[in-house]
């Protein structure tokens, strides 16, 4: 099969499109024919080697942990899944990934793919949807009537966070630049701060939120400013780095985990028309080095799905 792989850590030019052995389904695994895989900022961070204490890969490594595809082989001990089933998964980030024609996936991580969207587009859901869901409802325990600030709502995680928070009955303030404002309004954001026009602390001066969810790579000074935006006893969560200790608020750096049951719940919401999957670009897998390059220079158009 063809796969996009890298043989050493480095810049985006370590990614090469080449022949690779087609995976076989081990015990507890299935093999998927990849319909689509989406790019995530962590894919690029793993490629640089900066994350190797947490995500050490074996070379050559096939990147991309978000996948949508069709089962072509079912391994020993797998029940409930058959060849031909269309599924989505958030795969273990350091294992051989979905930037390939086929990928082996642990069956316990699979959820049936949504039927309401193209199968390839469903690859834009798993890890980012789960990040939003776990941050809001496991870590922040967001409730009806509470207020939430989603900093970085224009990104993939932020889009899901705004939709889920709105549907949970929270009042949502979202930071976004011009390109995302209309979309976030349609997702139910009550207030939008154009972060390109007005710095956040200035735009929300005097306000405090029950929950602040940070999805922007903030400096330590910027993260400290976010603490001031949290109501007494409220929660500051960051998906991008450490948060300061402050006795006044609950603060945590959160990490997503793969969870098939939660992913199935997200899929149900997509099929019910409650949760929109935003795909900014659909590109061939051979574009992956360019996608990494564009992400590094801030030129990536938004959530990008790649098809082998």
- Interactions with ligand NAP, residue window 140-179 (CB under 6 A): 151-152, 154-158, 175-177, 179
Contacts of 249 (CB under 8 A, 6+ apart): 227, 230, 231, 232, 233, 234, 235, 236
Cβ proximity to ligand NAP, 98 vs 215, nearer residue:
215
Q: Exposed (0-12), middle (13-18) or buried (19+): which is 114, by Cβ within 10 Å?
A: buried
Minimal CA–CA distance to 69: which of 28, 100, 27?
100
Total residues contacting ligand NAP by CB under 6 A comes to 28
Residue 126 binding ligand NAP, by CB under 6 A: no
Q: What is the nearest approach in angstroms of ligand NAP to the Cβ of residue 192?
A: 10
For residue 237, the SS3 value is: strand
User: Segment contacting ligand NAP (CB under 6 A): 19-27, 35-43, 68-76, 85-93?
Assistant: 35-43
Mask 177-216, x = binds ligand NAP (CB under 6 A)?
x-xx--------------x-------------------xx
CB of 23 to ligand NAP, least distance (A): 25
CB atoms within 10 A of CB 276: 16
- The one among 256, 266, 291, 306 contacting ligand NAP by CB under 6 A: 256
Q: How far is the CB of 279 from ligand NAP (least distance, A)?
A: 11
Judge whether 5 and 16 are in contact, CB under 8 Å.
Answer: yes
Q: Which of 111/157 has CB closer to ligand NAP?
A: 157
Cα–Cα nearest to 121, from 277, 240, 5, 283: 277
Percent helix, strand, coil in the chain, to 5, is 30, 30, 45
**283, two tokens:** 């590109």
Instruction: Give me the residues that bind ligand NAP (CB under 6 A), please.
Output: 40-42, 128, 131, 151-152, 154-158, 175-177, 179-180, 195, 215-217, 239-240, 254-256, 302-303
């Amino acid at each position: 099969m063809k796969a996009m792989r890298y043989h050493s850590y480095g810049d985006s030019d370590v990614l090469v499109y080449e022949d690779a052995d087609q995976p076989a389904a081990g015990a507890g695994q299935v093999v998927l024919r990849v319909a689509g895989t989406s790019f995530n900022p962590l894919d690029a961070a793993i490629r640089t080697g900066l994350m190797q204490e947490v995500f050490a890969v074996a070379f050559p490594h096939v990147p991309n942990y978000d996948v949508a595809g069709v089962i072509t082989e079912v391994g020993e001990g797998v029940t409930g899944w058959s060849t031909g089933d269309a599924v989505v998964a958030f795969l273990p980030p350091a294992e051989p990934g979905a930037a390939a024609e086929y990928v082996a996936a642990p069956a316990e991580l699979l959820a049936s793919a949504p039927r309401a969207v193209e199968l390839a587009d469903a690859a834009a859901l798993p890890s980012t949807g789960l990040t939003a869901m776990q941050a809001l409802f496991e870590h922040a325990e967001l409730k009806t009537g509470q207020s939430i600030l989603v900093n970085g709502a224009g990104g993939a995680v932020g889009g899901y966070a705004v939709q889920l928070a709105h549907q949970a009955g929270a009042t949502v303030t979202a930071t976004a630049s011009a390109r995302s404002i209309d979309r976030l309004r349609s997702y139910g954001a009550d207030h939008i701060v154009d972060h390109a026009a007005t710095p956040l602390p200035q735009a929300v001066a005097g306000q405090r939120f029950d929950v602040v969810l940070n999805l922007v790579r903030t400096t330590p000074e910027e993260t400290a400013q976010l603490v001031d935006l949290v109501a007494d006893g409220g929660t500051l969560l960051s998906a991008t780095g450490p948060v300061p200790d402050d006795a006044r608020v609950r603060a945590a750096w959160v990490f997503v985990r793969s969870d098939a049951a939660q992913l199935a719940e997200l899929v149900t919401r997509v099929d019910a028309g409650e949760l929109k999957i935003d795909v900014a670009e659909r590109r061939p897998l051979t574009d992956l080095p360019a996608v990494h390059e564009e992400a590094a220079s801030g030129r990536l158009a938004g959530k990008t799905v790649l098809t082998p």
